[in-house]
Copies of this chain bind each other. A is one copy, B any other.
Amino acid sequence: LRKGFPEVIFGEGKSAAQIVGIMERMQLQEQVLLVTRVDAVKAAAVLERFAEARYDTEARMIVWQRAPLPKTGLGTILVVSAGTSDIPVAREACLTADAMGNVVKSVFDVGVAGIHRLMAHRSLLEEARVLIVVAGMEGALPSVVAGMVSRPVIAVPTSVGYGVNLGGLTALFGMLTSCSSNVAVVNIDNGFGAGYMAASINQP
């Protein structure tokens, strides 16, 4: 039905054998399969069976593709993230959007406590057609970024932090009450969903 749109397997809590089983069943009718939240050991076991798949250690994600998709997206998707701990989620978004036929760029480590670092990337921000902004703790980055562009921003709260970060709820709520209007939000740590949504927006 939805050509080139990947199916995803949530890897957390599944054994390598279970993942392989599901992939074997799905691969018959799919062109792209993604497996998220897979550690290196499990990934190695899966790749023994699916040698043509790739594992990204930062994103902790397996990408299996029948063939690389042509880059059909309308414009560039830019993934921006705040702290180093947010990088796994940001990378998950990058790989998902990439696997769905998009040119993806990224700017990491530009948290709001050093606003000049973000400012330095102004033109990159302005050139993107869709932006994904990943941030934990107080989740302030999407508001600032969205205020600098007119394109849509997908905000991704992460569970990074402690105390009243409340496992990511604080970042989530901050993003939902953003004073910028070109922002919509996905679930905590949902890099996959953000990449998918951005790709769906960027479709011709």
* Residues from chain B with Cβ under 8 Å of A2 in the complex: 150
A163 to chain B, nearest CB (A): 3
Tell whether, in the assembled complex, residue B147 and residue A114 are in contact, meaning their CB atoms are under 8 Å apart.
Answer: yes
Q: Tell me, yes or no, whether A102 is within 8 Å of chain B by CB.
A: no
Partner of A186 from the list B148, B176, B193, B194 (CB cut-off 8 Å) is B176
Can you tell how many copies of this chain the complex includes? 8
The one of B12, B119, B162, B196 in contact with A182, judged by C-beta atoms closer than 8 angstroms, is B196
A103 in contact (CB, < 8 A): no
Which one of B112, B147, B184 lies within 8 Å of A154 (CB-CB)? Answer: B184
In angstroms, Cα B166 to Cα A188, docked, is 11
Given contacts A113-B144, A184-B197, contact A168 B163 (CB under 8 A): yes
A150 interface neighbour in B111, B114, B203, Cβ under 8 Å:
B203
CA distance A112 to B183 in the complex (A): 14
Name, among A8, A82, A171, A178, the residue most crowded by chain B CB atoms within 10 Å (CB to CB).
A178
Does A192 make an interface contact (CB < 8 A)? yes
Residues of B within 8 A of A111 (CB): 179
Question: Any chain B CB within 8 A of the CB of A101?
Answer: no
Q: Does A81 contact B (CB under 8 A)?
A: no
Q: Are A173 and B178 in contact (CB under 8 A)?
A: no
A115 touches B144 (CB 8 A): yes
CB proximity of A71 to chain B, nearest CB, Å: 18
How far is B106's CA from A177's CA once the two chains are assembled, in angstroms? 25
Binds B, one of A38-46, A48-56, A57-65, A135-143: A135-143
A181 contacts B by Cβ under 8 Å = yes
User: Smallest CB-CB separation from A12: which chain B residue?
Assistant: B162
**What are the residues of chain B within 8 A of A183 when measuring CB–CB?**
186, 193, 197
